[in-house]
Amino acid sequence: MEKPRTVFLGTPAFAIPALQAIEGLGWPVVGVYAGPDRPAGRGRAIATSPVKQYALERGLDVRTPENARGPTVVDELLELAPDLILLAAYGKLLPKEFLAAAPLGALNLHPSLLPRHRGAIPVQATILAGDKQAGTTIIAMDEGLDTGPIVAQAEVPLRGNERAPELTERLFVLGAELIAEHALAYVCGDLRPMPQGAGDPPLRRLTKETGALDWAKSAAALERQVRAYDPWPGAYTTIDGAKLEVVDASVIDERYAEPIGTVVAMADGAGVVTATGVLFLRRVKLAGRTEADITDFLRGHPGLTGTRLPS
């Protein structure tokens, strides 16, 4: 079967290259599932997901169920008579009945080098761990969480300064390339998926509290947190009861006698004493205010230096 009827599932903009890869193969996309329209922005206006918008512009059949577990959802999927299901950042759990609706099964594009960093936050976990390589894996889905056999995988070196949005987009573009290179061989039976090893336990989704900076960690670990939690939940601390987000930071390999968590004056601004080294605050954002360079922020908040921040 060289041109399987394909159903695509995805929601954010970085999933679109995967859908375009299927179109590039000339496969009929008989249905697209995307997340429902949601309120967004300060005005909380109803916003359409990028995948839905792209699919509608292409004249594709778009479905946006709240979840995929209802019997009617599976029945509607079966009416599309898909041969193959492809997921890329859909963001919803799928029951086995949904996955079994296509004779060729369901493929999932996962932005990590599985079995490393299974679960909901693979890109953030890659940055937090200080990995030297990142990658994307296509798996044939089973009932486990990111445990299915590997269809294709590719890795890329990391510079060590990647932020989550940039790396996410990069890895899904890599995933689209994997689809273009290997999907046909898979559906024709010329590519045998390889079982995964034991790997990591699945990672849970982020919460608002996840971004709180713990100054008892090393400056290097905290700097990775700043990059990993961009844009949400952000890496933050509090001053005078107000949330202060650290938007950009760097590591200064110096020792200070001040207690951990103390903001110290430095040549170009200020940094925070950590368990190992100092986290230099390059850009910050106080709740309700605009983002600012640390030197500009200090002009309006000269009392920040000398303050001991909570952990």
Domains of the chain (ranges; CATH) run: 6-187 (3.40.50.170), 208-304 (3.10.25.10)
What average pLDDT does the structure give for the chain? 94
pLDDT at 217: 98
**Residue 246 belongs to what H/E stretch?**
strand 242-252
pLDDT at 42: 66
Q: Produce one character per residue of 37-75: b if its CB has 16 or more CB atoms within 10 Å, e if not.
A: eeeeeeeeeeebbbbbebbeeeebebbebeebeeeebbe
Integer CA distances (angstroms), 74 to 81, 215, 264, in order: 11, 48, 59
Structure confidence by residue, pLDDT tens digits, 72-119 = 899 999 999 999 999 999 988 888 899 999 999 999 999 999 999 999
pLDDT at 203: 85
Integer CA distances (angstroms), 249 to 20, 111, 223, 226, 267, in order: 36, 25, 6, 7, 15
Query: Are the CB atoms for 108 and 186 separated by under 8 Å?
Result: no
Query: 6 is written with which tokens?
Result: 């394909």
Q: Tell me the average pLDDT across 224-239.
A: 97
Q: What is the pTM of this model?
A: 0.94
Taking the C-alpha atoms of 257, 259, 262 and 268 in order, what is their torsion angle to the nearest 10 degrees?
Answer: 20
Q: Which residue has the tokens 């004249």?
A: 59
Query: 282 is written with which tokens?
Result: 């390059």
Integer CA distances (angstroms), 15 to 144, 251, 256, in order: 22, 33, 45
pLDDT at 8: 98
- How does residue 61 score in pLDDT terms, banded at 50, 70 and 90? very high
pLDDT at 43: 64
| 50 pLDDT higher than 70 | yes
Cβ neighbours of residue 32 under 8 Å, at least 6 residues apart? 7, 8, 9, 10, 19, 51, 52, 55, 60, 61, 62, 63
Amino acid found at 118: R
